[in-house]
Amino acid sequence: MRDQSITDDLLKGIPKAELHIHIEGSLEPELMFEIAGRNGVPLRYASVEEVRSAYHFTDLQSFLDLYYEGMKVLLNEQDFYDLTWAYLQKTSSQGVRHAEIFFDPQAHTGRGVAFETVIGGIRQALLDGERLLGVSSALIMCFLRHLSAESAMETLSQALPYREWIAGVGLDSSEVGHPPEGFKAVFDEAEKYGFRRVAHAGEEGPPEYIWQALDILQVARIDHGVRCMEDQKLLKRLREEQVPLTVCPLSNVRLRVFDSIQEHPLKRMLQEGLCVTINSDDPAYFGGYVADNYCTVRDWLRFTREDFQKVAGNSFRASFLGERRKRQLLSELETYFAS
Ligand SMILES: [Zn+2]
């Protein structure tokens, strides 16, 4: 029986950070239609309802096909601004005080949209988010692992003029068959420029990919990482080094990494002493933003108040925030639970 005092409003109100959100995955069908209309981009759906009803995924790839299709409406700086601004407003209403946001430049430059158009629109919205909503943020540029290491390297050079706007680099897209080790050179290069490094690993891919991300790419965080539960030695390492794992429960169920939320290992991961955080991944596609994920684990994984305080604290501790703001947000969190 769940604790009835843990209401939706209580979970929404928890000050928290979101560390695993692909901005293109926050494109809601309504905005997709609006932008498609003004850009004259034809959609293969007749209505918003038709788009939503197409969101039945069998695995990561079946989602990625629709994800890349949907983002084709994004052409101008204003489109990237609107996309990012919509996410910030939504996530701010769910208690997010700091967001570390992924973007996929290759998914746009590959369609002829300039790098500066993409980052310019996102950047302006992030500045407005800080000013008008009090949401601080960091931007993480992801390399698409289904593309070549050369293409990733080229993307890194395109990003250098915007070095000040980008906190780190990541690795996403189709995991199986595209192990982290293939991207060693570009991650090494990114390190030289002072970029933080993270990577998706151990979502659909084996625990071995998590080892590679840690040892070969030298990442500060693992995105997903749920398959670490299959490897005792890895578990020990992750626990001892308190490597943050950005877990996305609704995403994992929608993409059939687990057949049901009841089978999700998040609670066990927490009990193992791992530094887990809860995130939305691609909220427009997976049925919920960050607090919706909090509600889901309350309902199905019996998360307690202490569990929520722990994961929200982890979200700040695992962030790339400076020490001062980190401390400020952690003390806000403490006050929230004390009252
Ligand atoms: Zn992701």
Tell whether 2 is covered by a domain.
no
Rg of the chain on CA atoms, in Å: 19
| Averaged pLDDT, 212-217 | 98
> CB of 294 within 8 A of CB of 11?
yes
Active site residues: 203
Ligand 1 center to 50 CA (angstroms): 24
Euclidean distance between CA atoms 144 and 150, whole angstroms: 11
Residue 1 lies in a domain: no
The answer to whether 140 and 170 are in contact (CB under 8 A) is yes
318-327 long-range Cβ contacts below 8 angstroms, 24+ apart: 318/17, 318/19, 318/221, 318/244, 318/246, 318/275, 318/277, 319/17, 319/19, 319/98, 319/100, 319/138, 320/100, 320/138, 320/167, 320/168, 320/196, 320/220, 321/17, 321/98, 321/136, 321/138, 325/98, 325/136
If one counts the domains in the chain, the total is 1
pLDDT of 3:
79
Q: Which amino acid is at 167?
A: A
**How much is the average pLDDT of 279-303?**
97
Give me the CATH number covering residue 12: 3.20.20.140
Does a structural domain hold residue 280? yes
Structure tokens at 251: 């995403």
- Can you tell me the distance from the alpha carbon of 207 to that of 30, in angstroms, rounded to the nearest whole number? 38
- Calculate how far, in angstroms, residue 246's C-alpha sits from the geometric centre of ligand 1: 9
The chain-wide mean pLDDT, for the chain, equals 97
| Average of per-residue pLDDT across 26-34 | 96
How many helices (H) and strands (E) the chain has is answered by 17, 8
C-alpha 173/C-alpha 56 separation (Å) is: 18
Percent above pLDDT 90 for the chain: 96
Comparing CA positions, the residue from 257, 264, 250 lying closest to residue 293 is 250
Instruction: Give domain status of residue 123, yes or no.
Output: yes
Cα dist. 11→71, 86, 136, 289, 304 in Å?
Answer: 30, 21, 20, 12, 11
Phi and psi at residue 102, in whole multiples of 5°? -85, 145
**Helix, strand or coil for residue 174?**
coil
Q: What is the 205 CA–ligand 1 centroid distance (Å)?
A: 13
Residue 260: both structure tokens together: 């049901």
CA 60 to ligand 1 centroid distance, Å: 10
Is residue 85 in a domain? yes
- Residue 1 has a pLDDT of 62
339 falls in which pLDDT band (50, 70, 90)? Answer: confident
pLDDT at 24: 97
Q: Does a structural domain hold residue 3? A: no
pLDDT reading at 8 higher than 90: yes
CA of 101 to the centre of ligand 1 (A): 10
What does the pLDDT read at residue 84? 98
- Residue 154 within any structural domain of the chain: yes
H-type alpha helices, 180-231: 184-192, 207-215
Q: Is residue 265 part of a domain?
A: yes
Q: For residue 180, what are the contacts with CB-CB under 8 A and spacing of at least 6?
A: 171, 199, 201, 209, 212, 213, 216, 217
> Residue 154 corresponds to which tokens in the numbers above?
């080229």
pLDDT tens track for 154-211:
999 999 999 999 999 999 999 999 999 999 999 999 999 999 999 999 999 999 999 9
Q: Kindly tell me if the per-residue pLDDT of 294 is higher than 90.
A: yes
| Contact status, residue 249 vs residue 293, Cβ threshold 8 Å | yes
Amino acid at 102: F
Compute the average pLDDT of residues 335-339.
95
Name the residue range of residue 221's domain: 8-338
Contact between residue 338 and residue 306 where contact means Cβ atoms under 8 Å apart: no
Q: What is the distance in A from the centroid of ligand 1 to the CA of 3?
A: 30
Question: Residue 109 and residue 284: Cα distance in Å, rounded?
Answer: 22
pLDDT digits (tens, 9 = 90+) for 47-80: 999 999 999 999 999 899 899 989 999 999 999 9
The pLDDT assigned to 267 comes to: 98
Q: What was the pLDDT predicted at 57? A: 92
**pLDDT over 70, % of the chain:** 99
Mean pLDDT within 108-131: 98
How many Å lie between the centroid of ligand 1 and the Cα of residue 282?
7
Lowest-pLDDT range of 48-57, 143-152, 168-177, 307-316: 48-57
pLDDT of residue 193: 98
